[in-house]
Amino acid sequence: MRPTAVYNVFGGNIFGRMKNTKTKTKSKAANEVNTRIFVESGFGRVINELKKSNVFLVVDHNVYKCYSNELNFDIPKFVMKAGESNKTLQTVGDIITAMLEHKCNRKTRLIALGGGVVGDTAGFAAASFMRGTEWVSIPTTLLSQVDSGVGGKTGVNIGNRKNMAGAFWAPKKVIVSCDFLGTLPEREWLSGIGEVVKTAILDPAVWELVYKNRLLLDRHDPRLYERIVKACIDFKDKITKRDFREGGLRMILNLGHTVGHALESVDGYRLSHGEYVAWGILHELRINEELIEPSFLPQARELVGSVLCGRSDPYSKYDKLVVAKYMRSDKKNTGSKVTFVVPTDLGLTEVVEKNI
């Protein structure tokens, strides 16, 4: 089987044959992604940002409650309900209405403080308010710090269809403080770790740090996570700057998501997104094992296995044909074949289409 595209994360697209797509040139994408990123401990920079003039805060109830002491000052804000079911056009409308009530204008900077749900929803409100206002992303979950908070994909769900309305709208600034992770529930840790493992398998620099520390990941040591978050963000920022609008290279970030999304749907979203992604990576390694370097395959399996240790595999509960049907309905597919991201070796990734 010939791959649709082969990517070497050191050298970009070394052999791209994406059908009907074009990878943006580095300079054009970089113009759209003029984001300054800060990863540090403490809340100093966060509070400074919030105390600037003409800002508007969007936060969810949980984060607002956890950080009520830090946020105990006057600031125009919208506190949204927490959770995926509130990532809707209705919430975007409510945010914009609140901004108008607070006399916000085109120069207002929207600040999204929260996990991926707040970031995606508030980012889309920023892209829409008066045809686009600047925004600052302050991600507070591990998943949003290593993934959704960086990269400028914003959007909301339409009914039960994920991310069906949205915009590529890069934040001006991303401020990451790993101190926010101190209040993160256990389930959200595992969700973030799923995306950390995905990034490690794609990027040698993250691999170096994460594989070596794989047995320490569940200890949630803030110093280790600050290094991991920094490395993951560097990788995502590099990919985003080369291919902001997902013309090609950015697709590699979907590793584990072909099976992961199918499992989410078939299993009814019982587990966290990142846990489904981790199970997804494990099954995609199996499905595509003939394409993977024999010395790398067991190490990749070992890394994913170490974070899923003791958990039961959602895939094993369902008929394989039913899971395959969900995979075929994935929006990445172009025809009847299923698109997979295959880590053929450390730092080398292929995008392939397969009949399953």
Contact positions toward ligand NAD, by CB under 6 A? 60, 62-63, 66, 82-84, 87, 114-118, 120, 140-141, 143-144, 147-148, 151, 153, 162-163, 180, 183-184, 188, 191, 273
Which one of 49, 246, 264, 275 is the catalytic residue? 246
> Would you call 188 a catalytic residue per the annotation?
no
Q: How far apart are CA 128 and CA 131, in angstroms?
A: 5
Burial 137-169 (b: 16+ CB within 10 A, else e): bbbbbbbbbbbbbbbbbbbbbeeeebeeebebb
Q: Please, which residue, 123 or 347, has the CB nearer to ligand NAD? A: 123
Q: Is 245 a catalytic residue?
A: no
User: Is 283 noted as a catalytic residue in this protein?
Assistant: no
Chain position whose Cβ is nearest to ligand NAD: 116
Closest approach, Cβ 153 to ligand NAD, in A, equals 4
Closer of 180 and 235 to ligand NAD (Cβ): 180
Residue 7: which H helix or E strand, with range?
strand 5-8
Residue listed under structure tokens 């289409």:
353
Q: Which residues contact 163 (CB under 8 A, 6 or more apart)?
A: 120, 153, 155, 156, 157
**Active-site residue (options: 273, 283, 288, 350):** 273
Active-site residue flag, 62: no
CB of 296 to ligand NAD, least distance (A): 25
Residue pointed to by tokens 């990451």? 176
Is 163 catalytic? The answer is no
First to last CA, the chain: 13
For residue 2, count other CB atoms closer than 10 A to its CB. Answer: 9
102 assigned to active site: no
Query: Which member of 195, 284, 350, 353 is catalytic?
Result: 195
In the complex, the smallest distance separating the C-beta of residue 200 from ligand NAD, rounded to whole angstroms, is 16
Which amino acid is it at 336? Answer: S
Catalytic site includes residue 61: no
What residues form DSSP beta bridges with 233? none
Catalytic position from the list 77, 173, 230, 236: 236
Which lies closer to ligand NAD via its Cβ, residue 133 or residue 191? 191
> At its nearest, how many Å lie between ligand NAD and the CB of residue 310?
22
CA distance 230 to 38: 9
Q: Which is nearer to ligand NAD, 99 or 181 (CB)?
A: 181
Backbone angles phi, psi at 96, to 5 degrees: -65, -40
Q: How far is the CB of 120 from ligand NAD (least distance, A)?
A: 5
The β-bridge partners of 57 are: 77, 111
Task: Give the residue numbers annotated as catalytic, written as ranges.
Answer: 131, 153, 195, 236, 246, 250, 254, 257, 261, 273
